[in-house]
Amino acid sequence: MTRVLIAEDQTMVLGALAALLALESDMEIVATAGDGLEALEVLEREPIDVLITDIEMPRLTGLDLAERLKEQAGAPAVIIVTTFGRPGYLRRALEAGVRGFLLKDAPAEKLADSVRRVARGERVIAPELALSAWDGGNPLTQRQRDVLRLAGEGLSTRDIGTRLHLAEGTVRNYLSEAIGALHAANRIEAFRLARQNGWL
């Protein structure tokens, strides 16, 4: 009997996924969690074989969760199930020792199948992403990311400078570099590209 924990912030999707796996006679849904912190609490008091988790959740994301578990002995095998196949996400997940990485676009049957594989020690990576993981890392430096993230919220150059304790010219420079690195035309496009690729 494989003991499963599911973490997902959209309650309806969480319930639906639980219903889906509950149909499998060799699995037991021990508990469900609405975010990463709840999942950690469950893990403290229950032995879990496989943790299925979304990435984008409040308080603690699935990636942060996986990174924390990597340190611990006796941690469960982790399967990430996400909407967004951003290369940066997959890369980070692999570095966190995640054993499965699936897209919500994949057929539903794939999930139970993946749980069994991962429980056996295998790895399961969404095939459409398997290649993209190694086409280079993040093209942005730390500062470029900082600045671009704030620009994406609609802050002006001046406000970004104030927030990061930088001169306006410096902020513009980082933005310009980021725009160049991403082959974008302006800060808006640069932000969209970086976001799409999980580089922020």
Partner DNA sequence: GATCGAATCTGACAAATGTCATGGTGCAGT
Partner DNA sequence: ACTGCACCATGACATTTGTCAGATTCGATC
Which residues bind to its own copies, rule: CB under 8 A? 9-20, 23, 81, 83, 102-111, 151-156, 184-192
Q: How far is the CB of 174 from DNA (least distance, A)?
A: 7
CA distance 134 to 91: 8
Size of the chain, expressed as the number of residues it contains? 200
Q: Residues 118, 179, 193, 194: which binds DNA (CB under 7 A)?
A: 179
Contact 50, 118 (CB under 8 A): yes
Q: How far is the CB of 11 from its own copies (least distance, A)?
A: 5
> Cβ closer to DNA: 17 or 147?
147
Secondary structure class of 14 (helix, strand, coil): helix
Q: Is 141 in the site for DNA (CB under 7 A)?
A: yes
Q: Residues 58, 156, 162, 163: which binds DNA (CB under 7 A)?
A: 156
Q: How far is the CB of 171 from DNA (least distance, A)?
A: 8
Q: Is 74 in the site for DNA (CB under 7 A)?
A: no
Sequence letter at residue 15: G
CA 11 vs. chain centroid, Å, equals: 18
Contact 168, 182 (CB under 8 A): no
> Cβ closer to DNA: 101 or 199?
199
Q: Is 195 in the site for DNA (CB under 7 A)?
A: no
> Cβ closer to DNA: 72 or 142?
142
CA distance 23 to 101: 22
Half-sphere exposure of 135 (CA within 13 A, CB side): 7
Residue 25 main-chain phi, psi, to 5 deg = -75, -15
Q: How far is the CB of 169 from its own copies (least distance, A)?
A: 19
Sequence letter at residue 41: E
Q: How far is the CB of 196 from its own copies (least distance, A)?
A: 11
Q: Is 186 in the site for DNA (CB under 7 A)?
A: yes
CA distance 90 to 195: 14
> Cβ closer to its own copies: 16 or 70?
16
Say how many residues touch DNA, by CB under 7 A: 23
